[in-house]
Amino acid sequence: MDRSNSVNRREIHTTNSTKRIQEEQEVQSVERIFESKQVSSWESQLTLRAFFVSLLLGILFTFIVMKLNLTTGIIPSLNVSAGLLGFFFVKTWTKFLDKSGVLKQPFTRQENTVIQTCVVATSGIAFSGGFGSYLFGMSEVIAKQSTEANAADNVKNPSLGWMITFLLVVSFLGLFSVVPLRKIMIIDFKLIYPSGTATAHLINSFHTPQGAKLAKKQVKTLGKFFTFSFLWGFFQWFFTGGDGCGFGSFPTLGLKAYENRFYFDFSATYVGVGMICPYLVNVSLLVGAILSWGIMWPLIEDRKGHWYPADQSPTSLHGIQGYRVFIAIAMILGDGLYNFIKVLGRTLYGIYCQFREKKAGLVLPVGAPRASPAEASLSYDDQIRTELFLKDQIPTWVAIVGYVSIAIISMITLPHIFHQLKWYYIVVIYIFTPALAFCNAYGTGLTDWSLASTYGKLAIFTIGAWAGASHGGVLAGLAACGVMMNVVTTASDLTQDFKTGYMTLASPRSMFISQMIGTAMGCVISPCVFWLFYKAFHDLGIPGSEYPAPYALVYRNMSILGVEGFSALPKNCLTLCYIFFIGAIAINALRDALGKNKAKYIPLPMAMAIPFYLGSYFAIDMCIGSLILFIWTKINKAKADAFGPAVASGLICGDGIWTLPSSILALSGVNPPICMKFLSRKDNIRVDKFMHPKAR
């Protein structure tokens, strides 16, 4: 799961409604609208009610992200939902207090920004914590599936204690690493940060009379679809009393298509995700599914006995599963390498341009043509925002002391959690991570594309190969991936939040503290939620189960490749891997060469790779979500733009929160009473003969 593990969590972001709001607000000065409202001090922006609401929403969104992590790994941005629900809860509470005459502090857009920041930081740990990727990839469940390098030295089963400790040790470094660079990123370089900018426009709009009225309607819509989605999940549960039972196993396109994982599984979550994701992402998923499960895998299965032993288990990496996993890895690595080089190149060129223009007396947006002094002067909004952004400085010594202190603590602590991860490996990682964190934060500001998982894979291969197979290199690589991913993810997240805070006049201090508190909450909440899944669903991580955690096996096999080479691959698999690795690079290059207008017709390799391993069922769900939004847009574009994200969020949140009671029921030993299963006519006759032998 890349925040890109599949399709970058930050890529699935700017909805039509936020674009519309941004366009409307560009017509007039935003800060003139709020001119009569005094900006509260940074201490006043950090309220108890804000963090209470953040805790509740953080738990809700952690369940959602965890479920997505453990099913397909496609995680949409929840910034808009966090901002909207945070506004609704606190606004309702303050309105009640105001009518009672006991309201002491009004609800401001700065407090709204604090809530959004804290919620996203909390739920973000469910992604960067690796519960569906590197961390779960260490477990015995996943190790048994890979058959290679599954000795005790390369296996570590989940435990609540060490998971919380690990996250607390590694999740804060990224925050301290970019604090000294916030002025350069936001003020000097004027980086765009599209997700942060869109969220800021949305929050600003909520706190105008018209925006508040629209937000109220949006929340009402979200509530309706939340209720529907929750009740639909509850209804489906009654029919899942066995393996392969329930609506999720309905062969909607026929039994033969079902065998090749082509079916609609009635998931409200992925219909909602499809409504949020760009059309190109959903179409790319479907193209990848047709290419793999519709064409390639049936052809390779016809070569059973020639390319791989006929008696191999369908889940063995020495059989058909090996082609599925390693070709998907090849595409992910090809896409990641291309985008890493592209974004790094743009980053370095952008920095060069910035400093060149600064020497000439101008500070311009990256890639913009030379402007006149009048054009380069700050607008009224930017003057106000810059003044307040620079008012509450976070001392550089705080960042340096914080980074060094946490680095020392982690160098002492991590080798006790993973004895394979030596202290000098950690020293090397922490020497390079500030530069990589800066590159990721800068690249995200330019492209809205976080390369956290790419940096994590870099750590897998380098540290894993350094440690070696005989010294637990597989586990060392996965642990190093976790360290790297957490640092660079939190760094880009914080700079996104600084951009949001800059545009809503929230203090950098309140942003930093909110991110710290949200991260701390996430370090405890996410392992607890994962532990609930782990204990409640005994087939967690098993292919074909409700929660297959596909990226756990992918990440483990990347680590095995880094340590042991290609010995685990079946016949001709390496050749196919080379073809798809080069193909992913070529497709990306073609997309860039053709430009934005034509690139929207060319699929994304990263998205195409996901169904290679999982199948197409979720891609069909997401395409149906896209189709619903497309038809709605054709019928009434204004309503679709305004309420589409609310409908999608309701579907995702309702189905996501249903996992809490379903987990509790599973832990309590309460099983669904009915098994609804679908058989062919021939199998049904055989079952009837077995059940009623005398009647026959």
Q: Taking the CB of residue 627, how many other CB atoms lie within 10 A of it?
A: 15
- The secondary element (H helix, E strand) that includes residue 431 is helix 423-447
pLDDT at position 250, please?
Answer: 85
**pTM, to two decimals:** 0.79
pLDDT at position 361, please?
Answer: 54
Q: How far apart are CA 298 and CA 640, in angstroms?
A: 40
Instruction: Name residues whose C-beta falls within 8 Å of residue 72's C-beta, 6 or more positions apart in sequence.
Output: 6, 270, 550, 610, 614, 618
Q: How far apart are CA 363 and CA 34, in angstroms?
A: 27
Instruction: Name residues whose C-beta falls within 8 Å of residue 362's C-beta, 6 or more positions apart in sequence.
Output: 370, 371, 373, 376
Q: Taking the CB of residue 376, how many other CB atoms lie within 10 A of it?
A: 14
pLDDT at position 358, please?
Answer: 62
Q: How far apart are CA 335 and CA 592, in angstroms?
A: 13
Contact (Cβ atoms closer than 8 angstroms) between residue 443 and residue 344 = yes
pLDDT at position 242, please?
Answer: 77
pLDDT at position 449, please?
Answer: 67
pLDDT at position 550, please?
Answer: 85
Question: Which residues lie across from 304 on neighbouring strands?
Answer: 308
Joined tokens for residue 271: 């219909």
Q: How many Cα atoms within 13 Å fall on the side-chain side of residue 662?
A: 24
Complete DSSP assignment for 657-670: HHHHHHHHHHHTT-
Helical segments of 505-545, H only: 508-536
Determine the Cα angle at 487 with ends 484 and 489, to 5°.
100
Among the listed residues 231, 196, 27, 221, the one whose alpha carbon sits nearest the alpha carbon of residue 649: 221
Q: How far apart are CA 90 and CA 393, in angstroms?
A: 28
pLDDT at position 318, please?
Answer: 76
Contact (Cβ atoms closer than 8 angstroms) between residue 135 and residue 535 = no
Among the listed residues 494, 520, 357, the one whose alpha carbon sits nearest the alpha carbon of residue 438: 494
Contact (Cβ atoms closer than 8 angstroms) between residue 542 and residue 548 = yes
Q: How far apart are CA 633 and CA 517, in angstroms?
A: 39
Helical segments of 468-505, H only: 473-504
Among the listed residues 168, 82, 192, the one whose alpha carbon sits nearest the alpha carbon of residue 441: 192
Question: Which residues lie across from 308 on neighbouring strands?
Answer: 304
* Burial (Cβ within 10 Å: 0-12, 13-18, ≥19) of residue 502: buried
Q: How far apart are CA 544 and CA 553, in angstroms?
A: 13
Contact (Cβ atoms closer than 8 angstroms) between residue 269 and residue 694 = no
Dmax over CA atoms of the chain, in Å, equals: 95
Instruction: Name residues whose C-beta falls within 8 Å of residue 251's C-beta, 6 or more positions apart in sequence.
Output: 257, 258, 263, 678
Determine the Cα angle at 473 with ends 470 and 476, to 5°.
140
* Burial (Cβ within 10 Å: 0-12, 13-18, ≥19) of residue 175: buried
Contact (Cβ atoms closer than 8 angstroms) between residue 480 and residue 459 = yes
Low-confidence ranges of the chain (pLDDT < 70): 1-28, 147, 149, 315, 354, 357-378, 447-449, 567-568, 694-696
Instruction: Name residues whose C-beta falls within 8 Å of residue 500's C-beta, 6 or more positions apart in sequence.
Output: 113, 116, 117, 193, 196, 197, 199, 200, 203, 506, 511
Instruction: Name residues whose C-beta falls within 8 Å of residue 565's C-beta, 6 or more positions apart in sequence.
Output: none
